[in-house]
Amino acid sequence: MRIAVIGGGPGGLYFGALAQQLAGQLGQRHEITVWERNAADDTFGFGVVFSDETLGGIEHADPHVYAQMKREFAIWDDIDVHFKGEVVSSGGHGFAAMSRKRLLEILQARCRELGVSIHFRTEAPDVDELAHTHDLVVACDGLGSAVRSRYADVFEPTLEERDAKYIWLGTDKVFDAFKFYVAQTPYGVMQIHGYPYDATGSTFIVEMTSAVWEKAGFAELADRTWSPGESDEPSIDRIRELFADVLEGHQVKANNSRWISFTTVRNERWVHDNVVIMGDAAHTAHFSIGSGTKLAMEDALALAACLHEAAQEGDGDLGSALATYEAERKAVVLSTQRAAQASLEWFENLPQYVHQEPLQFAFNIMTRSRRVTYDNLRLRDPEFVARCDQWFAGHIGSPDPCPPMFQPARIGELDLVNRVVVSPMDMYVAVDGLPSDFHLVHLGGKALGGAGLVMTEMVCVSPEGRITPGCTGLWDDEQQASWRRVTDFVHTNSAAKIGLQLGHSGGKGSTRLMWEGIDQPLDDGNWEVVAPSPVPYREGVNQVPRELTRTEMDAIRDEFVESARRGADAGFDLLELHSAHGYLLSAFLSPVTNRRSDEYGGDVHSRLRFPIEVFSAVREVWPRERPMTVRISATDWVDDGQTLEESLEVARAFVDAGAAAIDVSTGQVTSRERPEFGRSYQTPYADAIRNRLGVPTLAVGVISSFDDVNSILMAGRADLCAIGRAHLYDPSWTLHAAVEQDYDGPGAPWPLPWLPGRRKPQTGRTDGPRPRLQLIREGGQGTRHRRWQPL
């Protein structure tokens, strides 16, 4: 094959070397040419960090390159978090880094050895020309990729520039671990990401929000035209002053170092005919979870492997090989980008965590991407997690340093035995609003299963306020009595408390049962739906709701009040006002569904007026010793919807009105939504409300593992976690989580008749005791705390 490579960075060079090496294994030889606009010894940046997984792939693919790299590695295990005058360390992480310049030298030498042609200080020919004269064109031409721009209609790129500012520097101070320095300066919070790359220096990245950057005067210093390769020396001088205590007299090195904002690059497609984009041209991931060089070299390895497999199979189908590469590699990159986005946003929002104590802050920063978790840290450094457990217990006044999910909690005056909540889940099996034996077994079983708080589904305040004909209600005596059976069972047979979620469907009512077509209108038996404005959930599909009059709003408020009275008499311990998911009160809060021109529409404070009126009226009749919470949609997942800043105002208003906690969900307000769905995807909103307002929150949304629950709670992102579908899969989810974690205490109370089942049953044959065949046992050495100590 004739292969053109545009860009002679690590990704392009490594691909060239691997492709030629693999061709040699088949007795073939490619004609591979690399064009690089810069000189051979030009490099931008200082050090490159690799994971053990990536290094394993490099070792397998090309032992020669790996051996050369290994000689250069700075290797260490620890992460140090410098915060509020303390240094908190965690070990067992495993890092390997090297000089980027030295990496380029190794790869250039390998390419020359294998017969790959490299043209330095040379612009590549036009990509259209290359595509016609070569079998394959590999474009690794970086963040500003000209190839990506040329074929933008095919690749469909999106470039998202973020708010924070950072500058990439080096220092001759050789750090002995990965370092996070978080500094409260006169201008605001700034952070340093630092790590060693060889015996002579370390990478030293300074980052801050744009507001802090401007306040510190960096915007003024950077407001000029820069020559190619020129560094922002005035800003670097100020950094030397600001971080003199960190540098301890050591020098700061610059290399084309200027302030930039991180740009996340995504492409819908990576392949156009025989042209493929790779590395930063195809994707970027924030530097806080790994280097772009690492990702580019992984791309190179995957692409070379896919081409080699096609050649081995004999057909040599380039199109098939490129399609396989894109499908295989893109899934990995998307997962990395999700983690990187979580990490990036954590650092953008870092000021909301500076009230935390150093140990909790350190746990928070280490688990920010959701890839490293409570259990993962416990494997890497059990002593660190034990310290965190001890801190959490002391922080809440508990004598038992157990996993945080089993620590007691309090909502208002209501005490809970643990921090697990069974999330409200509609069952759609009621008749005329009447809960049945199904609800008794469903909710009673979850209470027996160990959760601290069990929530009902949305219980509707009127027949017209139901979502479907199968929704429960609380508007008559028979319903009240039936709910009383449920609460009596929970209180008599478990340690759980039970909460009532009260709501009105608004414009999303009169729809089919979930399994007949969720949010689809009824074929017959329709009832008229009402809302703040005549905005249907799905244009042309759902009913256009009738706009409520002031008199009708008063009547609905009174229905909430009457249902709350009945709920108190039915024995519920807590009442949650459902103001999320596009139902009536949520529809008032969102600008998408509230287009009123009276005092109940307009800005967020006006849109809040009716939901607060309802909350206040209910709070008046709900017993004072029993708490009320509110579920909100913190974002509508559309550009014209409710923003996080508005959601903070909503949460503040409900707390001021008497809410003991905010149950933070998102979306379901409009069918136009585009949620960023994924594991724990709504938790950042609970996190923001809790840490910016100091308000207790419940996190909810694809939280399905006890590991995620412990991670969220220990990091201070929420006070409780609401688990939905995992409880449908396993009604005893909490008790089984306790068994998996070897916990047997008051936070996981087993019903007395179930005590014989407290041990995990055997699942099949197990090998008997093994003989000792080693003079020295493996393991037992504790956490690895290697620190980089150059010879």
**Catalytic residue ranges:** 583
- Label residues 131-140 b or e (16+ Cβ within 10 Å = b): beebebbbbb
CA atoms of 514 and 499, how far apart (whole Å): 23
Under 8 Å between Cβ of 41 and 163: no
Tokens 């899934």 belong to residue: 331
CA atoms of 40 and 359, how far apart (whole Å): 45
Q: DSSP letter for 150, please.
A: H
What dihedral do alpha carbons 344, 345, 348, 352 form, nearest 10°?
A: -140
Distances (CA, A) of 112 to 118, 119, 130: 8, 11, 22
Under 8 Å between Cβ of 583 and 530: no
With a CB cutoff of 8 Å and minimum separation 6, the contacts of 332 are 298
Tokens 């409880």 belong to residue: 727
CA atoms of 239 and 234, how far apart (whole Å): 9
- HSE-CB for 547 with a 13 A CA cutoff: 11
- The secondary structure element, H or E, covering residue 438 is helix 437-448
| 3-state SS assignment for residue 353 | helix
Separation of CA 421 from chain center: 21
- The secondary structure element, H or E, covering residue 334 is helix 318-348
End-to-end CA distance of the chain: 45
- HSE-CB for 524 with a 13 A CA cutoff: 0
DSSP assignment string, 384-432: HHHHHHHHHHHHHT-S----GGGS-EEETTEEESSSEEE--------BT
What number of residues does the chain have?
A: 791
Under 8 Å between Cβ of 769 and 428: no
Distances (CA, A) of 194 to 180, 205, 232, 364: 7, 6, 19, 18
Under 8 Å between Cβ of 479 and 522: no
CA atoms of 475 and 132, how far apart (whole Å): 74
Under 8 Å between Cβ of 74 and 196: yes
Q: DSSP letter for 176, please.
A: S
Distances (CA, A) of 419 to 74, 185, 426, 703, 723: 42, 36, 22, 13, 11
**345's tokens:** 């946003």
CA nearest to 501, candidates 413, 589, 586, 609:
586
Q: DSSP letter for 144, please.
A: T
Query: In what order do the strands lie in the sheet containing 86-90?
Result: 86-90, 79-83, 178-185, 188-196, 202-208, 165-171, 252-253
φ/ψ bin of 447: left (φ > 0), alpha (ψ from -120 to 50), beta (otherwise): alpha
